[in-house]
């Protein structure tokens, strides 16, 4: 799971919630956008899920979602923060830096979280479908690469 937001200050809110759901024999990415990000919608996507994986989700994603839209996943799901696993494995930096160090390929390698805020602003202010599409592609890359990173970390028991 990975979220994008309007930023940290003032009336901030989530703009995209990306969730890769991994059931045996079934893997897919669901993205909730803007007004579709509700507690009920998130619960619906996570129906049947027991564990949620994030990168820095303990410090950002999960507390943020508990605040807005008011769904505290920390109470209902087991949470694994891959950033903590990476640190224990001696892997430092943000997600993109760690991906690069491990040879994990990424679409949109030059887009970052600040760009995600700007893309949302462009979408809202200019009704730019291209900006929204790029934001969704960026979020999808984060979610898909979290899945790859999780599998790499789980495959190396010394890293957990």
- Phi then psi dihedrals of residue 13, to 5 deg: -155, 160
Residue with tokens 């599409």: 133
What is the rounded average pLDDT for all residues in the chain? 94
Distances 139 to 10, 25, 57 between C-alpha atoms, Å: 23, 23, 14
**Residue range of the domain that includes 10:** 2-159
- pLDDT for position 23: 87
**Cα torsion angle, 91, 114, 66, 144, sign:** negative
Q: Is the pLDDT of residue 122 over 80?
A: yes
- Domain count for the chain, please give it: 1
With a CB cutoff of 8 Å and minimum separation 6, the contacts of 71 are: 39, 42, 43, 65
- pLDDT for position 48: 93
Per the model's pLDDT, the better-predicted residue between 7 and 142 turns out to be: 142
Q: What's the whole-number mean pLDDT along residues 48-71?
A: 95
- pLDDT for position 156: 76
- Neighbouring CB atoms inside 10 A of 122's CB total 16
Please write the tens of the pLDDT for every residue from 21-45: 988 888 899 999 999 999 999 999 9
Q: Specify whether the CB–CB gap between 19 and 27 falls below 8 A.
A: no
pTM over 0.75: yes
Q: Is the pLDDT of residue 65 over 70?
A: yes
Of 10-14, 51-55, 64-68, 95-99, give the lowest mean pLDDT range: 10-14
- Tell me the CATH number at 46: 3.30.420
- pLDDT for position 46: 97
């Amino acid at each position: 799971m990975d979220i994008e937001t309007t930023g940290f200050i003032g009336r901030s809110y989530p703009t995209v919630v990306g969730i890769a759901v991994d059931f045996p024999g079934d893997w897919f990415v669901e993205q909730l956008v803007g007004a579709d990000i509700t507690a009920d919608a998130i619960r619906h996507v996570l129906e049947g899920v027991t564990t949620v994986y994030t990168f820095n989700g303990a410090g950002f994603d999960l507390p943020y979602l508990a605040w807005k839209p008011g769904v505290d996943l920390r109470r209902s799901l087991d949470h694994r923060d891959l950033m903590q696993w990476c640190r224990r494995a001696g892997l430092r930096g943000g997600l993109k830096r760690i991906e690069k160090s491990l040879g994990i390929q990424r679409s949109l390698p030059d887009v970052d979280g600040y760009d995600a805020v700007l893309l949302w602003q462009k979408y809202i202010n200019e009704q730019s479908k291209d900006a929204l599409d790029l934001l969704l592609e960026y979020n999808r890359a984060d979610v898909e690469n979290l899945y790859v990173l999780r599998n790499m970390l789980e495959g190396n028991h010394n890293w957990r």
